Every structure is written in C-alpha cells, then in structure tokens.
Amino acid sequence: QAQLISSRKFVPRQGRLEAMDSHSARANTLFCSFVTVLGTTAVLNHLTTKLPQFQTSSTGSVVLNKVHDLTVNTYLNMDQSTFSFDLSHDLTSEFNWNMNQLFVYLVASYNNTSNKRNEVTVWDRIVTGREAAALTAKKLMVEYPMRDQYTELRGRDVRLHVRYRTMPITGLMDTKEVGSSQFKHSTDYFRDESMPAQGSRKR
C-alpha cells in the first residue's frame, strides 16, 4: 500500500513564539527555578543536622509527688484526678542552628479499660532557647486534670512519660521520650484539703 506523505511544512506562527517568550512565561521559569533551589537547599540544610557533631544526648526524669484528689466531675460525668510531680530535663543538646523550639509535655497513660489505649497530656511547656532547655522543678501541679470518660480511673496503674517534640526551622518534626515512672491510683474516691471542690455545677 502506498503511503501518503504530506508536503505541507510546519511554519510556526508569530503569536506562538511571542507567547513562549512572554513576561508570564519568564516569571514562571524564574519561580520554578527558585522553588527548586530553595527546596534542595532546605533538604541539604536539614541533613547537616544528622552529622556526628550534632548528635543529641537529652536526659529527663519524672516522679510522682502526690495525688491530690480522685473524684467524679459531676458536670462532665467523668472521673477526674489532679496530682503534683517532680520533673527534670536537660535538652540543651537539641539546639543547633536549625532548631526553632521544643514542645515539652507530660503524658499520663493507662490501659485495661473500655478504651484500648489512654493517653492524657497533663502538663506542657515551650522551650525557645538553650537557656531554658534545662529544668529542675519540684511539686509541679498538672495544668490539665486527668479525666476518664468511663469513670474507670480507680485502681489503675498509671505511667508518666516526659516527651518532647522538635520543631526545626527546616526539616521533619520528631517526638522523643526522655523519662518515665509509674504509680497506682487509689481504689476509692478522695480529695485532700489542698484541693477545692470541682465540677459541682449541674447541667
């Protein structure tokens, strides 16, 4: 079969050439180049913090001081407990040229309830510099009461975890744990004299 070959030649139009060389096309090329260089530099900068001289050696510990109450919050219809604790941590090695801040927090966890996993953040702080990265404190009070929606706090084994999240200028955020301890809740509701009555409002 004979093949038909077109003798027509492609002649680019003047308007098409002008569109390829327009101000918007040039701006798009510059923007794409800028984003590519910026992204590549950010990745390389983050990787430099993985060098041996930037390896961290953070330490921390937490110990229960006293459980002040274990009651029923009648307003929320939940078990509620407040306690104080002794906390220390040294996170100075986390700070380098690429570290913006650290989010330090205390988590109380317990299992074997209606929920398969229970984790409650009861205290936190933001560390913005090397000067504030080391802390030693006694009898700190929880900022957020420990609550259980199924009123199952009594008699539970509770573990306290000192954790922090890194927030670098560029790169990925990591969550790390530097200390933990365990205590057991009372099997009965109680409130000591240092804690005022809470949750007494009715719906």
**What average pLDDT does the chain have?**
86
pLDDT given at position 163: 98
Residues contacting residue 138 through CB under 8 Å, at least 6 positions apart = 65, 86
Tens-digit pLDDT profile for residues 114-144: 998 899 999 999 999 999 999 999 999 999 9
Of all residues in the chain, the percent with pLDDT exceeding 70 is: 84
Which helix (H) or strand (E) segment is 55 a member of?
none
Tens-digit pLDDT profile for residues 98-108: 899 999 999 99
* pLDDT bracket for residue 90 (50, 70, 90): very high
Residues contacting residue 7 through CB under 8 Å, at least 6 positions apart = none
147 vs 42: CA distance, rounded Å: 42
